[in-house]
Structure 1
Amino acid sequence: MNLCIDRIHAWRTWLAAPLVAGALVACTPAFKAGPLADEVRPSPNYGARRVSLVVIHHTSNGSALPALRTLTNPLSEVSAHYLITREGRIVQLVEEGERAWHAGRSRWGSINDVNSASIGIELDNDGVEPYGEALMAALYRLLADLRARHQLTALAFVGHADVAPGRKVDPSALFPWSDMAQRGFGLWCDAPYPEPAAGFDVALGLQAIGYDLGAPDAAAWSFGLHYGGRLGGLAELDPAHVACVAAAARAAGAP
């Protein structure tokens, strides 16, 4: 318990006094930190699971502090495995082997409970600003480490809006998915796109990528947000664009 108390005293420079009490409850000497974590802030909001996805979020805050308060407050019932600050500091909140509460009601491919199969990463970004160089450099380091240790393919890296279409919009249209894909973290297609096969079905193409078709127009909107297409429903999507990404998903090992 002395180690836990020492941690709480160290956190007082970051967190307000009422939050320290919550952090004390959550603190545990058995926390297994990832090798790239600069800091550990144990959150109580998790359960056990295994990893096959990495879900990217933005905090919607102007600084990391309010996000940390929310993510470590037992009353919020919200958490993530990591938060990366604008300065590029990697803060671990939940052990990778545990089920953080970050994705909510969500689905990707055959995964009905995304929290049970994913690592959640919150980025210190308000949703309307560009993603800074220090933050992205830290994210790429963390993703490379996660990819190696959990044996993930490019298919594993998605945004919150992808797994919760119509409900979430993070990590915003400013997130550099093209650069991510060049590093093997996700898929991407640049125009001009090859002509799709005759009779190509856009909705089935979205489903092949991983999108939930419970709300097809919402899935189409999330596709546009991620892949740089027009933001709209199924009718607004370029079939060739969807077919290109679906083909890339199949090439990467999608069923």
Structure 2
Amino acid sequence: MGMGMHVAGIQVHSAVPSTTDPQAPIWHASPNYGPRRDGLKPSLIVLHYTAMNSAQEALDRLCDPVHEVSAHYLIGGDGTLWHMVREEDRAWHAGAGEWSGQKDINSRSIGIELDNTGRHPFSDLQMRRLEQLLPQIMHRWSIRPYGVIGHSDMAPGRKFDPGPRFDWLRLERNKLAAPRGQNDGPLDAPMDQFRILAQSAGFSADVDDETLLSAVRLRYRPWATGPLQSADLVPMTARS
């Protein structure tokens, strides 16, 4: 969950259409938001885990003005979907970091929190609800699969969500995240080539080699340990 500054004078209860659709999100307004800066529109979707004991605990924090954190959506482990900040507005979920050389990720993104401690698998009900929500957001804002990222991707070393238990391959198979390269990558593993590939894949934060390797592995090879291997380069050889 990212930090942000409260913007005075903004009405908390944004105009969100009412609906009787049982699949519609539950509107639960958060006061922690502001306008997107410099006329920016969403081009990224950032996925988080809540690292809290329950969805209700996370919902309370995301809607508490004292904590100054929020997200556009929260998905519970049972698939319940809460909508807290209008997509047109800037939620405070990403904090410091960058992706593809661009900063102020809050102004460029939609934030989705997933009720998960980071230590257990994400439920099928939760993943299915995420797979329903992502295409809708991507269609509304013309966001490509490449624009669906984890908090750890844009804040290496500072954030670790959605964590090693998140099923990125499941999203990739459904064209809801950028596909990874397979077995046609480089045979050797020089660090300078790794950094070039990581940069081209979007990992542009100014961090040391070890931190960068950890962030890339968290996304693609969370089980991997030890020094850089050629297998660490392979996933970043295919982008879309």
Task: Tell me the TM-score normalised to structure 2 length.
Answer: 0.84
> What letter corresponds to residue 248 of structure 1 in structure 2?
A
In structure 2, distance between residues paired with 1:51 and 1:211: 18
RMSD (Å), alpha carbons:
2.5
SS across alignment from 2:90: strand
Say if 2:216 is the partner of 1:226: no
Other-structure match for 2:166: 175
1:38 to 8, 18, 25: 25
Q: Percent identity?
A: 34
Say if 2:111 is the partner of 1:126: no
> What letter corresponds to residue 45 of structure 1 in structure 2?
N
Q: Which has the higher contact order (CA 8 A, sep 6+)?
A: 2
Say if 2:10 is the partner of 1:28: no
1:100-135 deviation digits (Å, cap 9, x = unpaired): 000111110121111010000000111101100110
For the Cα contact (< 8 Å) 2:189–2:228, is it kept in 1?
Answer: no
Count of residues in correspondence between the two structures:
223
> What letter corresponds to residue 220 of structure 2 in structure 1?
Y
**What is the CA distance between 1:32 and its match in structure 2?**
5.7
Other-structure match for 1:247: 237
Map 1:188-227; keep pairs closer than 5 Å.
Answer: 188-189=179-180, 192-195=183-186, 201-216=193-208, 217-227=210-220
SS across alignment from 2:97: coil
1:168-223 deviation digits (Å, cap 9, x = unpaired): 11011010001111111223436534336997711111111111241132121011
SS across alignment from 1:236: coil
Other-structure match for 2:134: 143
SS across alignment from 1:88: coil
For the Cα contact (< 8 Å) 1:109–1:207, is it kept in 2?
Answer: yes
SS across alignment from 1:146: helix
1:43-76 deviation digits (Å, cap 9, x = unpaired): 1111222100000000011211110110000111
Other-structure match for 2:4: none
For the Cα contact (< 8 Å) 1:58–1:170, is it kept in 2?
Answer: yes
Q: 5+ residue gaps in structure 2?
A: 1-9
The structure with the largest helix share of the pair is 1
Task: Tell me the TM-score normalised to structure 1 length.
Answer: 0.79
> What letter corresponds to residue 224 of structure 1 in structure 2?
R
